[in-house]
């Protein structure tokens, strides 16, 4: 007959400690996965916003008549099945023949948080 010390197996406390360690590890993995997914979505938004800004700047450079007046224009465009809000601000420079163009892009729900800002100059 075996005594208590000679029996094989785990005690309840050992099992509880092992389960606690597994629970902490899994919680950390789930949290890290969530942060990774959020980071990936944010980078995707930044990329598309930059593309929208580049497209608007290219439109201006192709059609130089858009910069003949100073001021700002706003509008929306659809890219990647999402609405993007763009804003173009045309300002003077010390050289009268050159205009500074600032294109900012945001999502409709966060109008104050710019995802992309592109600055370019055009000689008209």
| pLDDT tens profile 13-38 | 989 999 999 999 998 888 888 888 87
Domain membership of residue 57 (yes or no) is: yes
Residues of the domain holding 20: 8-123
Domain membership of residue 77 (yes or no) is: yes
* CATH code for the domain of 118: 3.30.1300.30
Domain membership of residue 54 (yes or no) is: yes
Listing DSSP states for the chain in one string gives: ---GGG--S--HHHHHHHHHHHHHHHHHHHHHHHHHHHHHHHHHHHHHHHHHHHHHHHHHHHSGGGGSS-EEEEEEEEETTEEEEEEEEEEE-SSTTEEEEEEEEE-TT-TTS-SEEEEEEEE-
Domain membership of residue 13 (yes or no) is: yes
Question: What's this model's pTM, rounded to 2 decimal places?
Answer: 0.70
What digits encode the pLDDT tens for the residues 73-118?
899 999 989 999 999 999 999 998 888 999 999 998 876 788 999 9
Domain membership of residue 3 (yes or no) is: no
Segment 32-47 mean pLDDT: 86
Domain membership of residue 97 (yes or no) is: yes
Q: How many domains does the chain have?
A: 1
């Amino acid at each position: 007959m075996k005594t208590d010390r000679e029996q094989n197996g785990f005690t309840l406390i050992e099992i509880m400690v092992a389960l606690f360690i597994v629970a902490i590890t899994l919680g950390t993995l789930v949290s890290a996965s969530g942060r990774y997914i959020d980071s990936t979505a944010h980078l995707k938004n930044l990329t598309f916003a930059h593309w929208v800004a580049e497209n608007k700047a290219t439109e201006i450079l192709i059609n130089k008549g858009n910069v003949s007046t100073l001021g700002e224009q706003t509008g929306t465009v659809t890219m990647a099945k999402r609405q993007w809000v763009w804003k173009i601000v045309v300002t003077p420079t010390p050289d009268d023949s050159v205009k500074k163009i600032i294109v900012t892009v945001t999502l409709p729900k966060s109008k104050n948080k710019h995802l992309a800002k592109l600055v370019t100059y055009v000689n008209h």
